[in-house]
């Protein structure tokens, strides 16, 4: 799924980002997410991108690449488990939607910024 994100056209990325931001906004109207959880979610999203970045930088030979690939495959599940475990139980599904949305926003910010066209050299 992440490989598609890096190769997706701009308009698909924009539509997806607007959809995630709209879901966060609607969920925020019901129950706002605390700033500490927002920052934690953004950091987890940054980590998702940096894991993909490391995957491209490690040589294909060796067990470290295999271990990293295994970790990158289970990392999204670890993110969901961490978010569900840490969040308070009040309106849990609303807050979970916001937290996972901010994970995606953190991922979007870093991945799009790294792959943007350079204006000056």
At 6-34, the pLDDT tens digits run 778 888 888 999 999 999 999 999 988 88
pLDDT at 118: 66
Band (102; pLDDT cuts 50, 70, 90): very high
pLDDT at 56: 74
pLDDT at 77: 87
Specify if 121 maps to a domain: no
Residue 43 contacts residue 105 (beta carbons within 8 Å) = no
The pTM of this model reads 0.81
Domain span at residue 86?
A: 2-114
Specify if 98 maps to a domain: yes
Type and span of the H or E element at 27: helix 10-30
Q: What total of structural domains would you count in the chain?
A: 1
Specify if 11 maps to a domain: yes
Specify if 87 maps to a domain: yes
pLDDT exceeds cutoff 80 at 88: no
Specify if 13 maps to a domain: yes
């Amino acid at each position: 799924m992440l490989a598609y994100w890096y190769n997706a056209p701009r308009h698909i990325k924009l539509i997806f980002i607007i959809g995630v931001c709209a879901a966060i906004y609607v969920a925020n109207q019901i129950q706002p997410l605390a700033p500490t959880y927002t920052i934690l979610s953004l950091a987890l999203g940054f980590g998702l991108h940096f894991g993909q970045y490391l995957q491209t930088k490690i040589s294909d030979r060796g067990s470290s690449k295999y271990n990293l690939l295994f970790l990158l495959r289970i990392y999204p599940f670890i993110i969901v488990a961490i978010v569900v475990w840490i969040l308070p139980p009040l309106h849990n599904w609303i807050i979970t939607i916001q937290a996972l949305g901010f994970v995606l926003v953190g991922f979007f910010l870093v991945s799009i910024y790294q792959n943007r066209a350079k204006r000056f050299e």
